[in-house]
Structures are given as C-alpha cells and as structure tokens.
Structure 1
Amino acid sequence: MSKRRTIDAFFGSPKPKKPRGEVDVDNATPAGHSTHAAYPFPIPHLPASIGAELLESLPARPGRAIDDQPDLDLLYFEPYVPRSTAQQLFRFLRSSLPFYRVEYDIRRGGISTHIRTPRWTTVFGVDDTSRFAEGGAVVDARTGARVPMTGDGGGHYAKYPPRPIPKCLDDLRRSTEAATGCKFNFCLVNYYASGSDSISFHSDDERFLGPRPAIASFSLGARRDFLMKHKSVPNLADGAADGDDQREAKSLKLPLGSGDMILMRGRTQTNWLHSIPKRSGKDEQDGGRINITFRRAMVKAGSANYYNYNVNTGPVYRWDSVNREMKQWNP
C-alpha cells in the first residue's frame, strides 16, 4: 500500500459508531422472524439478551396502586422491565418495527383541518370478533370461518387488513397479561423522536373498548412526564348523587423512566385525561422514547379506528442506524 493511501485511510471519515449498548440488528443473526402478508417486512424476534425467558421473570418490581383520587385506578410498576434491559428493548424495537407518520383531515364546526401526527406510530392486532388462524388468515372468533378482506363483505377490514402482534411484542403482552390479570388483543407503539414530539390531553374511552377498559402503557428510552387531570369533579350542588366521590381531584405528574409501566383501569379513562407534553431547551434532544400500549378492542370498529390513525395508507418508515433517523422504507 502506498504512503498516500495510508494517509488517506488514516485521515478519512470514520465509520459512524453505534452508541454504547445499541443492539446491532444489521449484523446480528436473529433468532427468527415474525412474518405476515400485511407486514411490510419480516420483524425479528427478540435477541437472546432480552429473550422470552427474561420476560417470563417480569415484573422487576411489584405494582404500586394509585387510587387516592376520585375515579382514579392505576397500578404503577417502577420499573416493570429492568432499566438496562429496557434500554436494549427500546433500541431493538426502534430498529425492528415499521413506523408511520399518519396524516388525516378532520372537520370541526364545518372547518376542515389537516393533521400530521406529532410522533411515529404503528399498530398490530385484531378485535374480539376475530382471531388469526395458524397461517395468519383472519377468521371469525366464534365460527372459525375466514373473514373476507375485500369488497363489501370485508366491512371494517376492507381498507386496513389486520396484522398479528409480532412475537417480539407478543412476548411482552403475555407477560403483562399474567402480571395484571387483564386480556389484550391490540398493541399500539408510539415513537417520540425527541422532546418536540408529543401527544395532547385525551382519554382512551372509545365505545369499542367497552366499559371501564384496562390499558397497560410501557415507557422505554428517554424519561418523559406523564400528566393526568380529572375531566370534571361533580358536587352535590350540581346534582351529584349521595355516595359519589366528593374528594377534590388534583392534577398528577409521573416522570416515567425507561421500563416503567402504568396500568390504567376501572373508571380512569371515563373520568381522567392524560398527555405527554413537549420538552424544550436542553431537554428537547432526549434520545427518543417508545411507548407501548396494550388494549382490548371489543368490536370491528376498534380495528378500523386503530389502523386508520396509526398506520393508514401512507409510506412505511424504518430506523436508519447510520444517520440515526427514521427514513422512508422501500422494498
């Protein structure tokens, strides 16, 4: 090799290094993949360091009940997944899942507004009226008959074919069901790329979730504040019945760390709002956060809603570990 080439090699641009602890999905040999016709690409199983054996030993700590305010019923795990494992899981899921930046139009008061979701989203699952057969086909939960996916017979599934929860997330779902005694058939994943990504105050009280739904919400990656506030506090002067909870509701702020999980249940969704606010200044570039929520949709309208607002028909994005950003994925 010439002296010139040696100098060029020495002073050339170094190959970007992955942050310490980053799961090298590109070079690692996966233990297997989840595949389905509705997946844009195969989704790897969990690496050995975060395998099902570890998940079976969870939660890392028992849940702490928070029920000292009107209509509030939380079970708070600090953490559910050990911190070091949670960071690995965050990086693995960010690298392995298909994500979407959903855009849609809404009309309020006769005015149309275009919405661009301020975070990356993805979703998997199907409501209680259906299930996935062994080969991946969607079948009627009661009869086992295949559910049509196209045409008038496709109904709520015609536009967005349901896709099963991949094993890397289903392992965590099964662990969560065992720890909480709740049943879930949907997994929603939000990726907040920085502190500027957020979700405004809302409640998950859609009819398709049934009365008093239970929702398990995991936080992975950067610490973010989880805010909650009561929708309204009735009093007897306003016609509240004797026996109603008359305590004054106070706003709640939980600084969720990586691996923490909150189970929201009972009357919480009916009476409380929650949000993840923006961060600014030195806290804006926080390295990113993933939120996983497990839910149970009771009817087909739930499937249509979740796929519409978390996948829709736009392009697929995947994490680029070299440039460290989401980039549009092309087959």
Structure 2
Amino acid sequence: MSKRPRTLDAFFAPPPAKKQHIDPSPSEDGKPTTNPPLALLEAEQQPQSTHPTYPFPIPHLPHSLTSPLPSTPTTSPIVMNTHPDLDILYYKPYLPLTTAKTLFHHLRRSLPFYRVKYSIKRGALDTSVTTPRFTTVFGLDSSASFCPQSGRLLDARTPGKPLAPASLLAHTERTTGANFNFALVNYYADGNDSIAFHSDSEFFLGPNPTIASITLGSSRDFLLKHKPTPSHHPSETKAMKLPLASGDLLLMQGRTQSHWLHSIPKRKGGVGADGAGRINITFRRALSRAGTENYYRYNVGDGGGGGGGGEEAYKWDDARRAMVPWKRSGGREVEALRDGVEHRESFPTPVERLE
C-alpha cells in the first residue's frame, strides 16, 4: 500500500468522536461544573501529529473542543470601516467562553514554543534581538508540493510542519470565506511580553491579505493606528484601542494591512485579573516559499525547532506555572527545569522523516 501524500489537507480531518464526559468535581469557585477538565480531555487518547521538527508529538484537538465549533460564531461581527482604509470584522466573542478557556489551556500545554533570537542592522551595527514573547508556527506556503509516492516535500527548502489546530482553522475558513495555510501562535506570558507596531503586509502574502486573529486567555489591549500620510489624518497619531478578550476574533482584510499598523503593548499588572497568560492565533495565507522561510525563521528559528538544532524549545509546566526549556535525552523528552530538577514524560519518537 502506498503512503498517503503528506499534505496539509491530510491534517484537516477532525479527530474521531468521543463520548462527552461530565466532571462532578467542584470548579475553582466551589460550584459543580459540566465543563470537561483538562485531565479528562487528555485522557481521551487523541491521535498525535509528529514531524522531525517537532520536539515532541502534538495531540489533536479532542472532540469535546471541536464539537462546539459548528455553533460559532456566537455573535454577529461589529463592522469597523468608518476610518480611512480600515476594513475589520470584530467578533466579540467568536468562540463560546467555556470553549475558549479550555482551548487556551489545551494549546498552552500541548504546543512547543520558542524565544527566537535574530540580528538586525541598525546603521552599521548588527544588533541582537530576542523576541519579547513565545512563538510557534504551523503550515506551508501555497507553492509547496509533495511526492505522491513517498509524501515527501519536494520544493521548499524549509521543512514544513503539519498544521496542529486544523479543526479551528478549517472552521474559521468556513466562517470567513477566506483560505489559510499558516497558523502563527504567540504566547504572552505576562504584561512584559509584547509586540511592537507593525503591519502584516509582506509581499509573500499578496495584495490586501485577509488575516484572522483569535484571542485566548487574558485580555490584552490591541492598538491600531494609520500609517503616516501627507494628509496627517488624526488616526495616524491617536491609536485606536480594542480590549481583546478570550474568544474574540478580528478579521483584518482589504486595505487594512497596507495602510494600518497594530501592536500589543506592554502593560502593568502582570498576567491579568484572571491569572493567565494570553494566546493569540493568527491564520493567514502565504503564496510563496519566502513566506514559509520567513515564518519559520522568526517564529521557530533557523534550525527548525527542537528536532533540528535551532532555538531551544519550551513547554508549559503545570507545577511551576511557567514555560520551561525542553530537551531531548536518549530518545525521551526531558523537561529541563531551571532549578536543575528534571521531569520526564514518555512520548513516541517520530520515525518517519522528510528528507
């Protein structure tokens, strides 16, 4: 039997249905809850995605998380188009709050994250920069093709990764009518993690790209301001502030990226009133190999992640309530804690490699 080609479509199928569990134990506020706790979700024995560039296998979203998706969006979007060149749909919220909360904890515990280091030119000097947040990425550009016999990637220099949050991406495509092939995931551990003003207007996204941005976990301010113009519109100097909450979605489209900048600024007060960090997932479509290479360079690192030498991978540790470095040792995955204590978990080692 020939192998099925390793395309992204192979990872879009939702996991098999599982019986819904009811948790009779009290929640954090002491009241009984019917929301399945994380321990039960992980006990559902989900299939896992493996890849040579993954530091450890990544479980698929369980049925208890994918089953509420057909009921989204939970509200009609707010249309934001009264400012010059702005074209945004703001779903407040997009995901049910209980789904967003459980999805946040699932992704934070399941995904590998990185603190990517790179150099930039400032005048004649090379300046070293460490990304001020945790990042990871999944996907391949539209130009990638695969050998039908082996499923091996043929024409992209950077090895691609199977898309982990496939069910969420596919549902967001159905909601928005857009097509995506990348998921960029940022984790803001506390108020010191941030991203400066920028636009997602790289040439490899094509003109007027559509980008869907989902917030999970703590609320953070999302700032928007118009790029400088000869007319000096007030929106160039006075930023618009959106308090993005867990489950919210922004669909940025049309001329938004080519004419507007956005940021998540630092803030006082640590991780927020709910005591959690923030995950942001952005879905987008890269049209060429340059997109794949750029996204992996600045979200995973030159080495492609834990399987290929590159940046050090991090994984969430429940006991320490923090992201901690993750290292491979003797075919097993070892969580290398900063105090020198090692916590070991057994994972299957990926056996199929893309060469």
- The equivalent residue for 2:116 is 102
Task: Give 1:59 shift.
Answer: 1.3
- The equivalent residue for 1:115 is 129
Q: Which amino acid aligns with 1:107?
A: K
Matched residues in 1 for 2:208 and 2:313: separation?
34
The verdict on how the C-alpha distance between 1:82 and 1:329 changes in structure 2, with shifts beyond 3 A counting, is same
- The equivalent residue for 2:101 is 87
Secondary structure of the residue aligned to 1:308 is: helix
Which of 43, 51, 57 does residue 36 from structure 1 map onto?
Answer: 51
Task: Indicate if the aligned counterparts of 1:217 and 1:262 stay in contact, CA closer than 8 A.
Answer: yes
- The equivalent residue for 1:242 is none
- The equivalent residue for 1:125 is 139
Matched residues in 1 for 2:191 and 2:235: separation?
31
- The equivalent residue for 2:90 is 76
What's the CA shift string for 1:220-244, capped at 9, x where partnerless? 0001000000012433xx9xxxxxx
What's the CA shift string for 1:276-317, capped at 9, x where partnerless? 011113666842000000010011001000000000111111
The 5 Å alignment of 1:294-313 reads 294-312=283-301, 313=310
CA-atom RMSD in angstroms: 2.4
Matched residues in 1 for 2:100 and 2:41: separation?
20
| Unaligned ranges ≥5, structure 2 | 1-26, 30-34, 302-309, 328-332, 334-355
Q: Is structure 2 residue 292 aligned with structure 1 residue 278?
A: no
| TM-score for the superposition, normalised by structure 2 | 0.75
The verdict on how the C-alpha distance between 1:91 and 1:135 changes in structure 2, with shifts beyond 3 A counting, is farther
Matched residues in 1 for 2:61 and 2:323: separation?
21
Matched residues in 1 for 2:229 and 2:211: separation?
23
Q: Which amino acid aligns with 1:200?
A: A
Q: Is structure 2 residue 253 aligned with structure 1 residue 265?
A: yes
Q: Which amino acid aligns with 1:162?
A: G
- The equivalent residue for 1:318 is 315
Matched residues in 2 for 1:247 and 1:305: separation?
33
Higher alpha-carbon Rg: 1
Secondary structure of the residue aligned to 1:304 is: helix
Matched residues in 2 for 1:229 and 1:36: separation?
39
The verdict on how the C-alpha distance between 1:320 and 1:26 changes in structure 2, with shifts beyond 3 A counting, is farther
| TM-score for the superposition, normalised by structure 1 | 0.80
- The equivalent residue for 2:276 is 287
- The equivalent residue for 1:215 is 211
- The equivalent residue for 1:66 is 80
Which range moves more in the overlay, 290-299 or 24-33?
24-33
Matched residues in 2 for 1:92 and 1:302: separation?
27
Task: Give 1:30 shift.
Answer: 2.6
Secondary structure of the residue aligned to 1:85 is: helix
Matched residues in 2 for 1:26 and 1:36: separation?
23
Q: Which amino acid aligns with 1:164?
A: P
The verdict on how the C-alpha distance between 1:72 and 1:327 changes in structure 2, with shifts beyond 3 A counting, is same
Task: Indicate if the aligned counterparts of 1:129 and 1:298 stay in contact, CA closer than 8 A.
Answer: yes
Matched residues in 1 for 2:113 and 2:40: separation?
16
- The equivalent residue for 2:193 is 197
- The equivalent residue for 1:164 is 162
Which of 176, 189, 193 does residue 172 from structure 2 map onto?
Answer: 176
Q: Which amino acid aligns with 2:267?
A: R
Secondary structure of the residue aligned to 2:79 is: strand
Task: Give 1:26 shift.
Answer: 9.5
The verdict on how the C-alpha distance between 1:60 and 1:85 changes in structure 2, with shifts beyond 3 A counting, is same
Task: Indicate if the aligned counterparts of 1:70 and 1:247 stay in contact, CA closer than 8 A.
Answer: no
* Greater per-residue helix proportion: 1
Task: Indicate if the aligned counterparts of 1:25 and 1:95 stay in contact, CA closer than 8 A.
Answer: no
Task: Indicate if the aligned counterparts of 1:233 and 1:248 stay in contact, CA closer than 8 A.
Answer: no
Task: Give 1:127 shift.
Answer: 0.5
Matched residues in 2 for 1:175 and 1:134: separation?
27
The verdict on how the C-alpha distance between 1:106 and 1:138 changes in structure 2, with shifts beyond 3 A counting, is farther
Task: Give 1:61 shift.
Answer: 1.5
- Percent identity of equivalent pairs: 50
Q: Which amino acid aligns with 1:319?
A: W
The verdict on how the C-alpha distance between 1:164 and 1:319 changes in structure 2, with shifts beyond 3 A counting, is same
The verdict on how the C-alpha distance between 1:26 and 1:317 changes in structure 2, with shifts beyond 3 A counting, is farther
> How many matched pairs?
286
Secondary structure of the residue aligned to 1:122 is: strand
